[in-house]
Amino acid sequence: MSDSESRIIACLCAAWCRTCDGYREVFDGLQAQFPGDRFVWLDVEDEGVDVLVDTFPTLMVARGRTVQFFGAVLPHADHATRLLRSLEPEAGPSANAKEAEPLFDHLAQ
């Protein structure tokens, strides 16, 4: 997979969130299923990510700088797996892609 085709899958959570605690194992399992993608676990409070998160866990899926998905997910492996499989390389940007721009700046550091 070339750099232009590779994806970043970022999970935005918080240390105090018990749902996120349980989701960590699911997220690690996704990484094993999609080894060509870059997976990043971010605590939005510790990492200083300036992005609005309404519900945890929140996933951002991006290909290059095109955000294909940015939103809350149910903390179940099958939901996340279906989401990642549904986002083909040619999928366009998410309607709320602009909200994730600060996350790109943070990941570029």
- Give 78-90 pLDDT, tens digit per residue: 889 989 988 866 6
Full set of structural domains in the chain with CATH: 7-107 (3.40.30.10)
- Give 6-61 pLDDT, tens digit per residue: 899 999 988 888 998 889 999 999 999 999 999 999 988 776 667 777 888 999 99
Which pLDDT score is estimated for 90?
62
Residue 62 is which amino acid? A
For the chain, the helix, strand and coil percentages under 3-state DSSP, each to the nearest 5: 35, 25, 40
Cα–Cα distance measured from residue 80 to residue 96, given in angstroms and rounded to the nearest whole number: 18
Cα–Cα distance measured from residue 48 to residue 24, given in angstroms and rounded to the nearest whole number: 19
Check if the beta carbon of residue 80 is closer than 8 Å to that of residue 25.
no
Task: Please report, in angstroms and rounded to a whole number, the separation of the first and last CA atoms in the chain.
Answer: 23
pTM of the model: 0.76
